Amino acid sequence: MTGERYDLAVVGGGIMGCAAAIHACGGGLNTIVIEQGAIGSGASGVNAGTLSLQIKRLKLMPYALKSHAIWREAGKAVGFRRIGGYTLAFTEREAEFLTERMALKREAGAPIRMVSLNEVADKEPGLSRSVVAASYCEEDGDANSSLMGVYYRHMLREAGVAFRERDGVMDITREKGDFVLRAKSGTIRAKRLLLAAGAWLGDLLPMLGSHLPITVRVNTVSVTEPGPPVIGSIIGHATGLLSLKQKSNGCILIGGGWQGTGRPAQGRGEVNANTLLTNLRLARHVAPGIANRRLLRSWTGYEAHVPDFYPLAGRLPGVENAFVLGCVRGGFTIGPYIGRLMGDLILGREPELPLFDPARFAPGSSNSTNQH
């Protein structure tokens, strides 16, 4: 069989695939990224753009801290802003939960502190007066996910990574130790393979005889029309069910992981009117000034996860020279750094921080029995 041959083929041109490909190529591997849509057209290009340490799980904090430094370096090209963030509690129970969680996150290295209600009212006068407790992190900020395509296309070119867009991989087989990828534009052969196909991982893994317990979520984000300042920092809710930020053009982005409907194979999914309304009511409760804004658009994107909500990042169990990277909660924040770690693993180097071995879900692993 003919076809181009690479040291590494990466399936999926989201933040994970691109970051890993750039690092692996920098380490000397002739690398190609194959993307079924456009680079950054999956979750990486439609997410809410929040870069928050306050909403990260404890174990992921060191990864998020390292990744924040990479975002800062990328700066203007990704619309990075370090504008600080408040997380708010509205009941005594939420306040207790917030105080406990933030203390643990502070211990894990995040510069988070509980703040007085006067400080909140002073710094963010557009917020509701019914706040009971609040935490603050000066490191929190955001980036513009709609710039991901332009940014990573540029970075791939600079690094010398080959890439193909609108070229979905339909089949993967093995021949004489190589992976043979049948894509729309023809066949690609590679010695190593990284599956970084986000919510579509579940469709690709069976091509290699692999099955991991991947579930897909359909997250919703909305944007209002532009207007005068209402909030100046990243605003979150203690329950994690809300994220709010006002962009420099005056539009307000509203997220919080409210669920739409659909499946990755069907396109982008649909907004669910009921969950959207609840999301918007919560936003209005937290920042009453939003009430006068018209909503310009709501959309959904797919995010994958596994039962323990930690990343799948490591060797693909049972398939030599194959790797998988995905299911990273808050993957926009952590992507640039965990992608580099993945690149190191593929290069045969010891990653600076441990990855999250997918073998924990392989049949026979002690974890797999209670994870399914």
Ligand X SMILES: Cc1cc2nc3c(=O)[nH]c(=O)nc-3n(C[C@H](O)[C@H](O)[C@H](O)COP(=O)(O)OP(=O)(O)OC[C@H]3O[C@@H](n4cnc5c(N)ncnc54)[C@H](O)[C@@H]3O)c2cc1C
Q: Which residues bind ligand X (CB under 6 A)?
A: 11-17, 34-37, 41-44, 46-50, 168-169, 196-200, 204, 219, 221, 255, 301-303, 326, 328, 330-333, 335
Rounded to a whole number of angstroms, the minimum distance from the CB of residue 262 to ligand X is 11
Rounded to a whole number of angstroms, the minimum distance from the CB of residue 202 to ligand X is 10
Q: How far, in Å, are 94, 202, 218, 327 from residue 199 at the CA level? A: 31, 7, 10, 8
Closer to ligand X by Cβ: residue 95 or 356: 356
Rounded to a whole number of angstroms, the minimum distance from the CB of residue 193 to ligand X is 12
Closer to ligand X by Cβ: residue 95 or 147: 147
CA 305 – CA 327 distance, rounded (Å) = 4
Residue 294, both tokens: 């018209």
Rounded to a whole number of angstroms, the minimum distance from the CB of residue 328 to ligand X is 5
What's the angle, vertex CA 313, arms to CA 311 and CA 316, rounded to 5?
125
Find tokens 């920042």 and name the residue.
Answer: 287
Closer to ligand X by Cβ: residue 37 or 250: 37
Closer to ligand X by Cβ: residue 16 or 214: 16
Closer to ligand X by Cβ: residue 314 or 335: 335
* 3-class secondary structure, 218: strand
Is residue 29 a contact partner of residue 346, using CB atoms and an 8 Å limit?
Answer: yes
Give me the phi and psi of 69, to 5 degrees please: -65, -35
Closest alpha carbon to 220 in 242, 235, 239, 247: 242
Residue 364, both tokens: 């026979």
User: How many other CB atoms sit within 10 Å of the CB of residue 282?
Assistant: 19
CA 86 – CA 137 distance, rounded (Å) = 7
Rounded to a whole number of angstroms, the minimum distance from the CB of residue 335 to ligand X is 6
Closer to ligand X by Cβ: residue 42 or 343: 42
Rounded to a whole number of angstroms, the minimum distance from the CB of residue 227 to ligand X is 22
